Chains A and B, each alone.
Chain A
């Protein structure tokens, strides 16, 4: 049953959600830009050639979860993947997680949906699954499910980057699910129900909540800001760049593991920002570190956000307008053999850290065709040279192979991988 139809709230609930979305956009944009969340309540199709939640215009909220698989029985894992796919199809359409629902069952039974999304619209929920290297072979070298030879070469472990301060307990994982929605409660509801369906087969390894998308993945969206106060993801890959998406985002036939054709690889990095020291840094220095103006987001030497950075332009003093170690220069495709990423990160604030500092930063998410040629070279350069490193710490890392989309109701997540 449709969550809203059930309560007869279709009108009221929807207006509330849409209005909240508009208010959020207004806050981000200082009330001068067009609002972009008018369709915040709508459903995003679950079925398709590619998984939703990648080029889907980035929603406002994130709940990301990484699981460890705790069974050695392949049949149990496949059964779970099938159940998850059914529940995901239902929840992304704005329905209860199970076929009985949150309040329609018998009084003696625990409901098969947890209920906190009753009355809420689909809210643009997308659920995107990925498989980590340890699913193919555990850290101890065990091939639990007979799929070690199906591990794509592109799913190579990330190298250790300079200044990494990764915590193993919030890194990696056998399976990840990215839940994005315009309403945080809808995203949390989805992850909570999937985790519950998985008890006994998977165990939650770590999760991350995010708000305020920090990237736009469509030209219809304005560029949002990260917690440093800068626009983030101006030069992002966008849904409209059809040819670039083929070259840079989607795994193509012949790339390697056949089951990944039409899929993409996601890298996650939890990047703690040392907010307090950044906030004491002068505007001039902040802009020099990034290489763009804080207000408009224009590259130094340019006027508007989308002006192309002129890396060889020099100022009156003969120094480059965009510093040699500016973030925009080091991460730009020109400096990285044309490598691009589809970034889809979110801000996070996990309370404070006990020393009175905000435990805050950017949960970086980037999709790509081959991390060995994209994320790894870019991050290698950034980790060595970026002045921004004084203000950030990478504390968690993940790499997952996200298979292509589900094309029919009898297909399920991972079927081609395990076939």
Chain B
């Protein structure tokens, strides 16, 4: 049986090659690669983190992480002050994953985190040379500056509104706190990808009950959300509220000083739409208050702000894409606007399956062209 199978299969391969001629013929010639990146192997075990080289030339660096341990691991590259330059999560035992980061000349730390917790097994790392970061391009530098100004405006409002929210919670004013909950979150959701780059603070502020593992302490917005909507008792919520405000202030300080790369903007714009697709359309984000559409609107606005900052670059390199993005943002916004209610939005559980499907379609239509922005920004 095997013999005849083999013969039949090789005939099949020949058929495939012949047929290929009927399609387009140019593709075998176009195989753009990531030329010029240095590659470094990382071997992670439950007790060790062996980085093949601890010094490389600046510019894009590819780490290949092989997990030879028994625990799931993570790999991080940190700049001074534990600012995350890049990370790869969930590397299962026996598997390898790649991480590509752009490292300007400077000193860094690498870390493997077997069991995905703690500070990890650290090691020093250095990038030398004069590879110019992408931000040396004047238009790109302008884009990141514009976006950072936007982040700053949002973080200011985030602190103000979180303070009001926390005050209402501590004062026992449940109705006022309920009104302020989606509003404070709006400023958070607009810039969430920036906040997420600070690792452990994001879950402290925004973890959902379903995200927790057994025994893990639950803090942040959604803990208070449950107190407000389900237990309807905030008499014991004071410490959680205080911690939320403190965490928000810490993250705001970091967000206002972080140096973003244009790729952060492009990827952040896409991540915000991924957030909409996975968390908001399904109603998983605000499962007690059903205020998901406030978060949806904020994610969409944040994504649009990042793309707007990059707009001159996109326009120059691919005018058609710039136009498509504009159209699809407008279409998604129009779809969302159908569900306005006064100054706010309808609740998630007031929308029909058909409403949600139409919203999902509009986000899919927008997210595919947005995924083309990062390679465009990186292209020379």
- Using a CB–CB cutoff of 8 Å, the interface residues on chain A facing chain B are 1-2, 4, 10, 14-15, 17-19, 22, 35, 38-43, 45-47, 70, 86, 89-90, 92-95, 99-101, 104-110, 121-122, 169, 196, 199-201, 203, 409
Instruction: Assess the B27–A100 pair: CB atoms within 8 A.
Output: yes
Instruction: Assess the B15–A109 pair: CB atoms within 8 A.
Output: no
Q: Which residue of B lies closest to A1 (CB)?
A: B28
Size of the chain B interface, CB-CB below 8 angstroms: 50
Q: Which of A1, A38, A40, A47 touches B22 (beta carbons < 8 Å)?
A: A47
Task: Report A180 CB to chain B, min CB distance, Å.
Answer: 16
Chain A residues contacting B10 (CB-CB under 8 Å) are 14
Q: Which residue of B lies closest to A121 (CB)?
A: B12
Please provide the 10 A-B residue pairs with the shortest distance between their CB atoms, ordered closest to farther. Answer: A42-B12, A200-B365, A109-B375, A18-B5, A99-B27, A14-B9, A39-B8, A108-B378, A199-B364, A108-B375
Indicate with 1 or 0, residue by residue over B33-60, a CB within 8 angstroms of chain A CB atoms. 1100100000000000000000000001
Chain A residues contacting B375 (CB-CB under 8 Å) are 105-106, 108-109
Q: Which of A18, A45, A46, A199 touches B9 (beta carbons < 8 Å)?
A: A18
Chain B residues contacting A104 (CB-CB under 8 Å) are 31-33
Indicate with 1 or 0, residue by residue over B106-132, a CB within 8 angstroms of chain A CB atoms. 000000000000000000000000000
Q: List CB contacts (< 8 Å) of B349-380 with chain A.
A: 353, 357, 360-361, 364-369, 371-372, 374-375, 377-379
Q: List CB contacts (< 8 Å) of B153-167 with chain A.
A: none
Chain B residues contacting A200 (CB-CB under 8 Å) are 328, 361, 364-366, 368-369
Q: Which of A22, A43, A106, A201 touches B16 (beta carbons < 8 Å)?
A: A43
Q: Does B80 contact A (CB under 8 A)?
A: no
Task: Give 12 pairs: A residue, B residue, CB < 8 Å, sorted on A.
Answer: A17-B9, A18-B5, A42-B12, A46-B22, A92-B19, A93-B20, A100-B32, A107-B60, A108-B263, A121-B16, A200-B369, A201-B365
Task: Report A150 CB to chain B, min CB distance, Å.
Answer: 26
Instruction: Assess the B23–A110 pair: CB atoms within 8 A.
Output: no
Chain B residues contacting A121 (CB-CB under 8 Å) are 9, 12-13, 16
Say what secondary structure dominates the interface of chain A.
loop
Task: Report A245 CB to chain B, min CB distance, Å.
Answer: 23
Q: Does B230 contact A (CB under 8 A)?
A: no
Instruction: Assess the A89–B28 pair: CB atoms within 8 A.
Output: no
Instruction: Assess the A95–B20 pair: CB atoms within 8 A.
Output: yes
Task: Report A320 CB to chain B, min CB distance, Å.
Answer: 44
Q: Does B210 contact A (CB under 8 A)?
A: no
Bound-complex Cα distance A169 to B364 (A): 20
Bound-complex Cα distance A101 to B28 (A): 10
Q: Which residue of A lies closest to B20 (CB)?
A: A93
Q: Does B214 contact A (CB under 8 A)?
A: no
Chain B residues contacting A42 (CB-CB under 8 Å) are 8-9, 11-12, 15-16
